[in-house]
Chains A and B, each alone.
Chain A
Amino acid sequence: AQRVTQPEKLLSVFKGAPVELKCNYSYSGSPELFWYVQYSRQRLQLLLRHISRESIKGFTADLNKGETSFHLKKPFAQEEDSAMYYCALRARYSGGGADGLTFGKGTHLIIQP
């Protein structure tokens, strides 16, 4: 079975400092990886998908298959980045894949002024 690990429950950095939220996964096949963000008491919103190799709100994430990691990075943190961040994995099977995403436990990011 697949597993997603986010080792930091809480990460506090100062405004303008670089941010790195760690995500490691275990899955024997070829995964699809995502980052979600949840602002206070709101719905989860998709932030990034590894397939797109995009940059959203200044965040980037690169899939490292050798280290089985998908860390989220931003060079200069802003106060509005304070939120819960979840890393998630979809196990890609040949037969379909309706069975959803596996989430990490989340990292609470606090940006201090």
Chain B
Amino acid sequence: DAGITQSPRHKVTETGTPVTLRCHQTENHRYMYWYRQDPGHGLRLIHYSYGVKDTDKGEVSDGYSVSRSKTEDFLLTLESATSSQTSVYFCAISRLAEGNTGELFFGEGSRLTVL
């Protein structure tokens, strides 16, 4: 499982409230990612990080922000949750920076429902 844990695993919240999802890894990988998974859309990249305090936007970044103050933690924040952000969120790491092939290893997912 590449030492990835996500929290919370399940959350129900109301429209307009802030939400933070946490991804924690134990293997010191540089590259970390947040994807969302929706029926009919597959997985879409929200944000990614290539090091501490180094982040960039993905395909569907509107309404989301991220922070990476430590190698092991990558936080995804919804400043004001909307119903369209109801989804399953997956964190992933890559071992590419350590000289491996470019596949991603995923966490178990965080299921978010915005009412």
| Cβ of B72 under 8 Å from chain A | no
Number of interface residues of B (CB under 8 A): 29
- Do residues A100 and B90 form an inter-chain contact, with CB atoms below 8 A? no
- Shortest CB-to-CB span from A6 to chain B, Å, is 8
From known contacts A43-B107, A98-B94, A100-B94, infer whether A32 and B102 are also in contact, taking CB-CB under 8 Å: yes
| Contact yes or no, B102 A43, CB < 8 A | no
Task: Determine which of B40, B102, B104, B105 lies in contact with A92 in the assembled complex, contact meaning CB atoms within 8 Å.
Answer: B102
For residue B103, CB closer than 8 A to chain A, the reply is yes
How far, in angstroms, from A49 to B42 measured CA to CA in the complex? Answer: 19
Task: Report the contact-size class of chain A (Cβ under 8 Å from the partner).
Answer: 20 to 34
Report whether B50 and A98 are in contact in the complex, using a CB–CB cutoff of 8 Å.
Answer: yes
A80 within 8 A of B: no
Q: Which residues of A contact B108 (CB under 8 A)?
A: 42-43
In whole angstroms, how far apart are the Cα atoms of A46 and B102 in the complex? 11
Known: A43-B90, A46-B103, A103-B43. 14 other contacts (CB 8 A): A9-B40, A43-B108, A43-B109, A44-B106, A46-B105, A51-B101, A92-B102, A98-B31, A99-B56, A99-B58, A100-B35, A100-B94, A101-B102, A106-B42
* A-B pairs with beta carbons under 8 Å apart, 23 shown: A6-B42, A34-B103, A42-B108, A44-B43, A45-B106, A51-B101, A86-B43, A90-B103, A97-B96, A98-B30, A98-B96, A98-B97, A100-B31, A100-B35, A100-B48, A100-B94, A101-B45, A101-B102, A101-B103, A101-B104, A103-B43, A103-B44, A105-B42
Measured CB to CB, the residues of B under 8 A from A are: 1, 30-31, 33, 35, 40-45, 48, 50, 56, 58, 90, 92, 94, 96-97, 101-109
